[in-house]
A and B are shown apart, each in its own frame.
Chain A
């Protein structure tokens, strides 16, 4: 006897949506509206006071966005989700929901450059400080926890160096210290890895990337695991103590396994407002419908590119956890059995100058500041995505000036390789090309 609940590929197509509640529309409608009629004064008051569920204003919630939220919650195995305008706003919202001035977070040092700057430069302006720890330094995470630490934040596979953090062990460390773990799982998508199943408490995504795949729309989301007991300690007054903004509501007491999402929405979306447009939510939904088939192709292409790059005379090094000599190989086999993703970092012989020539001379691969597009993308992080980081931070992130970040697309692999050959050929004589 087994439960007859829908599985991953079915949820990708149908999750969060019932045509019968939407005039029979087979496709999810785009509710392009700012606001929603109240039945009467009593109904309006009940909605505003969280006595009843429903939509008030599209900054707080929207029916199209709701479909996306429920679909991603279902795919991740979460109790609730809250979609945002971008991945960065999802991270900001997560931290602002948990932390007060004077609080501290422990953060993996290998993160998207924008996230590093958020923790390094912006959050300190709100009195929230971060300690960065190298992703492979599991014990370092434990040592960095302070009395006022409110969470550990990281990417399972760090951007851009591809180093893994031992998430299950770090979860144990965090939970022993009574704090939650937030994982940015943009690189993996729930197809490859579900952090909540490995003990994480909150997952954030930039849906702009693999989840959407088409590179047309900005979107982010946070997903709640529902297992963290906020009431177990007095560490989280923002979750447990009466909140003046809702007549003394204790989110943890009233909403339990969805307390975090309810607070992030009720307070964060109300006061900060990084809402996702219904059109972008719909665009992302189109991408999620094909998540499994795209991820399979991304991963198989990535493995072929790893092999190609590893054997190329112009390549100094390749970082991808599928390589047997990679320090994370065994951990990746355990945590990522369906594939280690389509992000590859490699060093080009000839350093920064050769890297620039390579990037300027590939034609099929697009040079831009995005990852997870269906098209192959390349960038030189030290001069672009991570350029606002100082030398010390770059070193902590284990980033070198010869590093090229490759997001492998789902084109025919032969075409990607042929394109790279052109790039490498040009990189051998960078000055000549530069002088043209």
Chain B
């Protein structure tokens, strides 16, 4: 659906069901340069099982009006504005990669609005490889190839997508390329690189928190994910074997199962 946030048009997938203010809201926040498409194997389930779902395109990504927001702090504030804009009081947030930084920033700044948070492939800081950052900021598509290489574990490189016929790396790459390498991916990478408040933000989070990590994640390795979890009180950690950074797609079924139990317990539909 399309709606306005701060006078700018925003697109969000509602998981195939109409948005309903009477149902508990889950907001899914994508990673660098990506879009709502990455969440399709999580959102449809929740949308058909009693939740209102918004898999948002961050500003300047997918079908949302630009420009992209230049800092994680701005993006965290913007998520709070999304909750207000759709007329809701609270939401659970689920993030992937950069989306995790946005989630912890938002949850730390707006604790009254956030019911629970799920982090997939998250870390307290995501410093960027300087060469990758430079390529992305120049709009060089090689940045996308490198990102897809590093982001995927064995199944991404060989095959075995949970949805028959889909190709992990080409699908991921096309989501980024269909946007703007320079104005979305480049801005996102810089925002990640600049963000230094992750661990401080984590310490302020009081809501139930789930960290799903992939043991083959080369972008946000397990030890970095655990470090973040250690800074969030009562944080739950789940590690998926043979899984890279694209947990939400590489191991869509396993990650959904973990997320389902967590959300149902901490943000029930009743």
Task: Report which A residues bind B (CB closer than 8 A).
Answer: 1-6, 14-18, 20-21, 46, 49-55, 60-63, 65-67, 69-71, 73-74, 77-83, 225-227, 229, 231, 246-250, 253-258, 261-262, 265
Query: A258 contacts which of B35, B160, B171 (Cβ < 8 Å)?
Result: B171
- By the criterion CB–CB under 8 Å, are B44 and A51 in contact? yes
> Chain B 227-270, CB within 8 Å of chain A: the 1/0 string?
00000000000000010000000001100100000000000000
- By the criterion CB–CB under 8 Å, are A5 and B145 in contact? yes
- By the criterion CB–CB under 8 Å, are A53 and B162 in contact? yes
- By the criterion CB–CB under 8 Å, are A79 and B174 in contact? yes
* Chain B residues in 8 Å Cβ range of A4: 149
Query: A53 contacts which of B15, B48, B161 (Cβ < 8 Å)?
Result: B161
Q: Which residue of B lies closest to A67 (CB)?
A: B159
Bound-complex Cα distance A52 to B175 (A): 20
Tell me whether B155 is interfacial, beta carbon within 8 Å. yes
Tell me whether B68 is interfacial, beta carbon within 8 Å. no
- By the criterion CB–CB under 8 Å, are A82 and B44 in contact? no
- Number of interchain pairs (Cβ within 8 Å): 149
Q: Which of B157, B162, B252 has the most CB of A within 10 A?
A: B157
Tell me whether B87 is interfacial, beta carbon within 8 Å. no
Number of chain B interface residues as a range: 35 or more
* Chain A residues in 8 Å Cβ range of B165: 61, 66, 69-70, 73, 80-83, 261, 265
Q: Which residue of B lies closest to A66 (CB)?
A: B164
Bound-complex Cα distance A65 to B159 (A): 12
Given that A254-B40, A256-B178 are contacting pairs, would A52 and B171 also be in contact in the complex, using a CB cutoff of 8 Å? no
Q: Which of B13, B40, B169 has the most CB of A within 10 A?
A: B40
Bound-complex Cα distance A94 to B45 (A): 28
Query: Min CB distance, A8 to chain B, in Å?
Result: 14
Bound-complex Cα distance A82 to B169 (A): 17
Query: A17 contacts which of B17, B131, B158 (Cβ < 8 Å)?
Result: B158
- By the criterion CB–CB under 8 Å, are B160 and A52 in contact? no
Bound-complex Cα distance A231 to B37 (A): 14
- By the criterion CB–CB under 8 Å, are B242 and A20 in contact? yes
Q: Which residue of B lies closest to A16 (CB)?
A: B159
Which 3 pairs show the lowest CB-CB distances between chains A and B?
Answer: A53-B162, A53-B163, A16-B159
Q: Which of B64-119 contact A (CB under 8 A)?
A: none
- By the criterion CB–CB under 8 Å, are A226 and B16 in contact? no
* Chain B residues in 8 Å Cβ range of A21: 155, 160
Tell me whether B148 is interfacial, beta carbon within 8 Å. yes
Given that A51-B44, A70-B161 are contacting pairs, would A80 and B149 also be in contact in the complex, using a CB cutoff of 8 Å? no
